[in-house]
Amino acid sequence: MIVAEQKSLEEIKNLIADMEKVLVVGCGTCVTVCFAGGDKEAGILASSLRMSTKLDGSTKEVTHITVQRQCEWEYIDPIADQINDADIVLSIGCGIGVQAIAERYPETVVVPGLNTTFLGLPTEQGVWEERCAACGECILGITGGICPIARCAKQLLNGPCGGSQNGMCEINPDTPCAWQLIYDKLKSQDRLHLIMDVQPPKNWSSSRDGGPRKITREDLRLAVEDSE
Amino acid sequence: MNLTTDAPIQIVAFCCRYCAYAAADLAGVLRLTYPPDIRIVQIPCTGRLDTLEVLHALEFGADAVMVAGCLEGDCHFQRGNIEARTRVERIKEILSQIGLEAARVEMFNMSSAMGKQFAEAAQEFAERIASLGPSPLRDSTYEIKAEFEM
């Protein structure tokens, strides 16, 4: 899931500074699960902004609404009236949601209420950790299900560096060394041979380095009727 | 701000059904007095405390919010009151960011037999809030313009 964190109230207030009517738009998917931008958070943010701007001496009219997913047109089309009614949309969806609203409603001013941070999972209630770097070329099959691109600080492909100490990464004593984890996992499954082949330098063109990515599935596209 | 000096301090008290609400009820049975403008809202457990409802209480007229639950270790639902304590701390942080005094929300613990302690806590909290003064959000001309759905 996408994991994000809410920006400070201070920063959010600066983003909506010149506007009267603010619509906070929450999202019912990833950001609900990480308690950053769900319906409850949207309500809390809207109430906080109403109170805070009142104390500042210029009460803003802040309402909130939450859609199931902010990243698909079908879900953001039905709130057109509320969006058009507002001076500014404060989206607390992930960066994708913010951009979806901005793209679908080109005349609307849209600002982000969250900092979208990483792809990860809740390892325990209240803790989310990064697991995937969306590099476009998944090698989890040979690393025992542990990703060295997302979890190794140096994104190494052929084992740990010299900084790996007691199973921990040198950048942070609380961060496990990904290659230690990979080694331990494959050893416990008697599959260490998987990491014996030397991996060549990674081809990063499938990752961000290749520019903004796009996937097209011709078989899924709506068939265009032949024109007369 | 146009506030009459004899406008009473308004407090909303979220009380857990098993201890605090029973304690408040006992205070009533014992005819103990405490400030009248404490509006009690029963919740099944303080673990059910909703941050948004606390903020709404403060936004729409309350000067302070009291949260009262079972004694720690004796929560009817095991650790609801422990969760509530953490949540109250978080709400205090939110209030500070908004510009309200963090002291406007407070957690108390008591057992259902502690009617006297409920009355004392209510009295003490009301006096504390009275010395803080009415909520800076109070304004006789404040109109609720925003629509909201809980």
Interface mutation target, options A16, A25, A49, A51, chain B, most CBs of B under 10 Å: A51
Comparing B6 with B63, which gets the higher pLDDT?
B63
Interface mutation target, options A41, A44, A49, chain B, most CBs of B under 10 Å: A44
- CB B97 within 8 Å of CB A48: yes
Q: List pLDDT tens digits, range B10-48.
A: 999 999 999 999 999 999 999 999 998 899 999 999 999
Contact (CB<8Å) A52/B147 = no
CA-based nearest distance A130→chain B, Å: 25
Band (B5; pLDDT cuts 50, 70, 90): very low
Buried b (16+ CB within 10 A) or exposed e, B78-90: eebbebbbebbee
Domain residue limits, chain B: 11-132
Percent of chain B scoring above 70 in pLDDT: 88
Contact (CB<8Å) B137/A55 = yes
Domains and CATH numbers, chain A: 2-117 (3.40.50.2300), 136-207 (no CATH)
**Residues of chain B contacting residue A10, judged by C-beta atoms under 8 Å apart:** 97
Give bridge partners of residue A104 from the DSSP assignment: none
Strands lying side by side in the sheet with A21-27: A61-67, A21-27, A88-91, A109-112
Mean pLDDT for B70-77 is 94
Residue B143, pLDDT > 80, answer no
**Residues of chain A contacting residue B99, judged by C-beta atoms under 8 Å apart:** 51-52, 55-56
Contact (CB<8Å) A40/B51 = yes
Band (B137; pLDDT cuts 50, 70, 90): very high
Q: Where are the alpha helices (DSSP H) in chain A?
A: 9-15, 30-33, 39-56, 73-76, 80-85, 95-104, 148-151, 178-188
Mean pLDDT for B89-103 is 97
Residue B142, pLDDT > 90, answer no
Neighbours of A172 (CB within 10 A): 9
**Residues of chain A contacting residue B54, judged by C-beta atoms under 8 Å apart:** none
Q: Would you state the pLDDT for residue B6?
A: 54
Q: Class of the B11-132 domain?
A: alpha beta
CB-CB: which of A51, A63, A64 is closest to B100? A51
Question: Predicted ipTM?
Answer: 0.89
Q: Would you state the pLDDT for residue B138?
A: 87
Measure the CA–CA gap between A188 and A72, rounded to whole angstroms.
42
pLDDT in single tens digits along all 228 residues of chain A: 999 999 999 999 999 999 999 999 999 999 999 999 999 999 999 999 999 999 999 899 999 999 999 999 999 999 999 999 999 999 999 999 999 999 999 999 999 999 999 999 999 999 999 999 999 999 999 999 999 999 999 999 999 999 999 999 999 999 999 999 999 999 999 999 999 999 999 999 999 998 999 999 999 999 887 765
Contact (CB<8Å) B136/A52 = no
SS (H, E, C) B1-34: CCCCCCCCCCEEEEEECCCHHHHHHHHHHCCCCC
Q: Would you state the pLDDT for residue B55?
A: 98
Task: Annotate A175-209 with DSSP letters as a single string.
Answer: SBPHHHHHHHHHHHTT-GGGGTSPPPPP-GGGSGG
**Residues of chain A contacting residue B55, judged by C-beta atoms under 8 Å apart:** 44, 47-48, 51
Residue B2, pLDDT > 50, answer no
Q: How big is the A-B interface in CB pairs under 8 Å? A: 53
Q: Would you state the pLDDT for residue A224?
A: 80
Band (B8; pLDDT cuts 50, 70, 90): confident
B94 φ, ψ (degrees, to nearest 5): -60, -45
Contact (CB<8Å) A55/B136 = yes
CA-based nearest distance A58→chain B, Å: 12
Which residues 53-92 of A have a C-beta within 8 angstroms of B? 54-56, 59, 61-64
Q: Would you state the pLDDT for residue B147?
A: 43
Percent of chain B scoring above 90 in pLDDT: 84
Mean pLDDT for B118-143 is 86
**Residues of chain B contacting residue A62, judged by C-beta atoms under 8 Å apart:** 146
